[in-house]
Structures are given as structure tokens and as C-alpha cells.
Amino acid sequence: MDKKLTLSSLQKEIRKLADPERAKFSAYYFKTGKGQYAEGDVFLGGISTPVSKSFSKKYQDLSILDLEKLLSSKYHEERSVAIGILLSKFAKSKGIERKKLYDFYLNNTAHINNWDLIDVSADKIIGLYILENPKEISILSKLVKSKSLWERRISIMTTFAFIKIGRFEKTFEIAEKLMNDKEDLIHKAVGWMIREIGKRDITKEEEFLKKHYKNMPRTMIRYAIEKFPEDLRKKYLLGKV
């Protein structure tokens, strides 16, 4: 790696783009206030998704030690870049190195602590690794029962990898376990994954919904039926299916 492309130089590049006004908006958008789901998260602002991706590509050869430091940053944007680098490393890895990166992700879930960080990575790292190593599926049983909102979200978002290849059983299983979750962010994620199943097999989605929709949180059902014809959506929302 170029000697100039260090963790320190990356952080300088990121912080140079800081925008206090955009940081305020991000703090509001990502619910960082007292008692909210991302309480205490700190934003620099000024780092768009394309810019974050460009940093992740430019610094993809950072060491795991540096990556761990970056992922533990108090700044959301730095953690986002860390996730981008991790995704790049994982995509190119094999064998023992792949296992190390999978373990690294699981050992650092405390820092993968907002929905955007999870949604771009869980299926592409945890999900793909499980598909390659089926015995690892048991980790989802641990994550879905976690006290951590973020680990529970990881459990359902991981199953997107399975959905993409037409395997829906684990998504439905985890959705049932999260049916009574108290967090709206979980309701949204579960509803989203059920909707993704419907894009591939509407019959399977409706079989699940007809069994559970009357007990599903309102947000969850709304996300799940978002793409349904308006008349059918109304029937589900009125409980008349």
C-alpha cells in the first residue's frame, strides 16, 4: 500500500469535508437524540455515499488493525468507510482470510450500530459466509435473541442473501421470532424482507401474511404490502383478507 494512504491520511481526508449543517441534519435523520435508537452517534456531515465509496476503494488495503480502529470511531462517516473497506476485503478473500473477516464483523457489531451500516453489509458478509459454510447458520439464532437492536437487525438482514437465491425459510423463521419486537426499526426490516420475498414469489409471501398479518405490527405489515395493488393493501390493513 502507498505509504501516504494511511489511516491518519484517510481520517484527515474525511474530516476535511466536514459540514456542520449537514451534520445536524444527519443527526436528526438518524435519530441520535436522547432516548432515540442512535443516541450519541456523531456525524461530521459533508460525506455523501459516492464519496464514502470512493474513500473505501482508495483505502481498501488498510490493515485489519487500522480497520478496527476506524470502525470504532465515534464518527459515523468513518465507520461507514470502514464497512466499505471490509466489504471490499471480504469480496476478494478466500479460505482462512474470509473466516477472519467474518469473525471480525461479528466481533465488532457494537460498532456496526446504525441501520445504514447493517443494511449494506449483513447479507454480503454474514449471509454469503453462511451460504458457503452452512453450519454457521446457528449464529442467527444467537443474533435474533440479542438484547442489541443492531444484532437483531443483522439477523433479519442477513437473510437477504438467502432470499436472492430463492431460499425463504430462514427469513420466515426469523420474522416470526421478531413479530413481537418492540423496535420500529426491526418492524421495518422484517417487512422489507417479506416484501423482497414477494418480489420473487408472491404466493409464498401471501401464505405467510395470511397466517400472521393480524398479529404483525402496523409498520411491519405496511412495509410488507407496499407493492400490493391498492385494493389488496386496504384489505390487509383493514384485516379483511
| Domains in the chain: boundaries | 8-110, 121-241
pLDDT for the residue 194: 98
Closest CA to 112 of 142, 73, 138: 73
pLDDT for the residue 46: 82
pLDDT for the residue 4: 79
pLDDT for the residue 192: 98
Identical fold between 8-110 and 121-241: no
pLDDT for the residue 3: 61
pLDDT for the residue 186: 98
pLDDT for the residue 2: 59
What is the fold of 121-241?
Leucine-rich Repeat Variant (1.25.10)
Closest CA to 154 of 182, 129, 127: 127
pLDDT for the residue 21: 94
Q: How far apart are CA 183 and CA 175, in angstroms?
A: 13
Cβ contact 52:83 at 8 Å: no
How many Cβ atoms from other residues are within 10 Å of residue 60's Cβ?
18
Print pLDDT tens along the chain (241 aa): 556 789 999 999 999 999 999 999 999 999 999 999 999 999 999 898 999 999 999 999 999 999 999 999 999 999 999 999 999 999 999 999 999 999 999 999 999 999 999 999 999 999 999 999 999 999 999 999 999 999 999 999 999 999 999 999 999 999 999 999 999 999 999 999 999 999 999 999 999 999 999 999 999 999 999 999 999 999 999 998 8
Closest CA to 141 of 174, 105, 106: 174
Q: How far apart are CA 210 and CA 214, in angstroms?
A: 8
H helices of the chain, in order, are: 7-16, 20-29, 49-58, 64-71, 76-92, 95-107, 115-119, 122, 128-132, 139-144, 149-158, 160-163, 169-177, 184-200, 202-212, 218-224, 230-238
What are the residues whose beta carbons fall under 8 Å from the beta carbon of 204, sequence distance 6 or more?
Answer: 168, 197, 198
- For the domain spanning 8-110, the CATH number is 1.20.1660
Beta bridge partners of 42: 75
Q: How far apart are CA 5 and CA 15, in angstroms?
A: 15
Q: Output phi, psi for 42, to 5 deg.
A: -120, 130
